[in-house]
Structure 1
Amino acid sequence: MAAGLALSLLAGCASDTSPNDATPEEVSRAAYRHDGPPALTLFTMINNRSGAGAHTSLMVNGSQRVVFDPAGSVRHSAVPERGDVLYGITPRIEDFYARAHARETFHVVIQRIEVSPEVAEKALQLVTTNGPVAQSRCTASTAAILRQLPGFESISGTWFPKNLSDQFGQLPGVTETKLFETDSDDKRKAIEAFEPAASRG
């Protein structure tokens, strides 16, 4: 990746007002298959001051690894996005994605569960055909997808990121970590601090 790659970084469930979807060819070229087991990873962004949930997204590791980032606002020129799905989620891009959300005012709860290949593929199909999500519907859309998966039928509809995180955390086999960082909440400073790191291979 070249230094100075464009990054758009905002907080919370914001509306992506520039529908610059990648082409199917760009998405296909970016496809990345992670060698780990099939898994789903729920990201929940929490406001450090109020304790309220701010955003929900879902990483799917199936025949390729993607992040369903509904109404999301972290975008990178090296990561093709189509229909609120980010493609080419290598370990470096996964790290970038999580750290882009963690700042002095927000931390990220990362919950992971291994699933069967069949469940991972169904999740992949659901997120890639869902289409763009309206502003503030990040959690509702993620919950709606999860509850269609075998083993996730207990997930109930919710608009609240922390509620979905609590429900997800009750599923057998879920592991949880929390990511805290002390970056300035000034988006420009966060971009300047991160882009040089993003350029290193």
Structure 2
Amino acid sequence: MRALIMAVCAFLALASCAAPPGEWATDEDLARVAYRHDGPPRLTLFTMLNNSTGAGAHTSLMINGSQRIIWDPAGSFKHETIPERNDVIFGVTPAIADVYTRFHARKTFHVKIQQLDVTPAQAEQAMQLARAYGPVPQAQCTRSTSSILAEIFPGQITQSWFPKALAEEFGRLPGVTEQVLYEYDSDDNSKVLAEWDPSKV
């Protein structure tokens, strides 16, 4: 009975990992928007946390390697000008990284942002694992992200269903820096993307 209760709690905690998977941008679209940030190879773990309870709601991972992408498993961040393929968002310029982060921060949730500079090989491995993973079922955002990180940091990161648990493990890796983003917009965060005009960036 306890196992059943835990499973139900895990599902409810991860309810925001609820977008239908299967977006498939063309090769031409991906080549057109490919972007590499001029900073160091880096992994940025995003953890969305409930402001009232502290419970985790969503996990995603930005990867800066030969290009910069966001692994957004079962995420709800969608815009017609931002190509996505199987939960991987491409062409992550500073403007897109900013709107992505603000999209998830609102009056009921804040975003923990954890950054870790890695080797070029580790960044590339993370990118390849994310691109090869395929569409992620609902409520498995942390499970999928932790499985990727566990391959890069064996013995330091374990597979988990829980966003807070993964953030705590990631935060113990040497060199991780953290910041937190609070915003107090309406829970209807769709307006963040609706009002975003990439031509004006």
For residue 75 of structure 1, give the secondary structure of its aligned residue in structure 2: coil
Residue of structure 2 in register with 1:12 after alignment: 16
Residue of structure 1 in register with 2:181 after alignment: 179
The ranges of structure 1 where at least 4 consecutive aligned residues each deviate by more than 6 angstroms after the TM superposition are none
Deviates more, 1:180-189 or 1:132-141: 180-189
Once residues 187 and 175 of structure 1 are traced to their aligned partners in structure 2, the CA distance between those partners, rounded to angstroms, is: 27
> Which letter maps to 1:160?
F
The superposition leaves residues 80-114 of structure 1 with CA deviations (integer Å, 9 ceiling, x where unpaired) of 00010000000000000000000001100000000
Residue of structure 1 in register with 2:135 after alignment: 132
Once residues 167 and 91 of structure 1 are traced to their aligned partners in structure 2, the CA distance between those partners, rounded to angstroms, is: 27
- Aligned Cα RMSD in Å? 1.6
The superposition leaves residues 29-56 of structure 1 with CA deviations (integer Å, 9 ceiling, x where unpaired) of 1110110000000000001122110000
Residue of structure 2 in register with 1:163 after alignment: 165
> Which letter maps to 1:185?
D
Residue of structure 2 in register with 1:91 after alignment: 94
The superposition leaves residues 150-194 of structure 1 with CA deviations (integer Å, 9 ceiling, x where unpaired) of x453111110000100000000000000000010112454455x4
Residue of structure 2 in register with 1:105 after alignment: 108
> Which letter maps to 1:121?
E
Once residues 110 and 187 of structure 1 are traced to their aligned partners in structure 2, the CA distance between those partners, rounded to angstroms, is: 19
Residue 122 in structure 1 maps to residue 125 in structure 2: yes
Residue of structure 1 in register with 2:41 after alignment: 38
Whether the 8 Å contact between 2:72 and 2:88 is mirrored in structure 1 is yes
Once residues 158 and 46 of structure 1 are traced to their aligned partners in structure 2, the CA distance between those partners, rounded to angstroms, is: 16
Whether the 8 Å contact between 1:102 and 1:181 is mirrored in structure 2 is yes
Q: CA deviation at 1:24?
A: 1.7
Residue 25 in structure 1 maps to residue 28 in structure 2: yes
For residue 135 of structure 1, give the secondary structure of its aligned residue in structure 2: coil
Once residues 24 and 156 of structure 1 are traced to their aligned partners in structure 2, the CA distance between those partners, rounded to angstroms, is: 33
Aligned residues: 187
> Which letter maps to 2:16?
G
Unaligned runs of 5+ in 2: 1-14
Identity, in percent, stands at 55
Residue of structure 2 in register with 1:200 after alignment: 200
Once residues 120 and 189 of structure 1 are traced to their aligned partners in structure 2, the CA distance between those partners, rounded to angstroms, is: 32
Once residues 148 and 82 of structure 1 are traced to their aligned partners in structure 2, the CA distance between those partners, rounded to angstroms, is: 22
Whether the 8 Å contact between 1:184 and 1:190 is mirrored in structure 2 is no
> Which letter maps to 1:156?
T
Unaligned runs of 5+ in 1: 1-10
The TM-score normalised by the length of structure 1 is 0.88
Once residues 157 and 69 of structure 2 are traced to their aligned partners in structure 1, the CA distance between those partners, rounded to angstroms, is: 21
Whether the 8 Å contact between 1:183 and 1:190 is mirrored in structure 2 is no
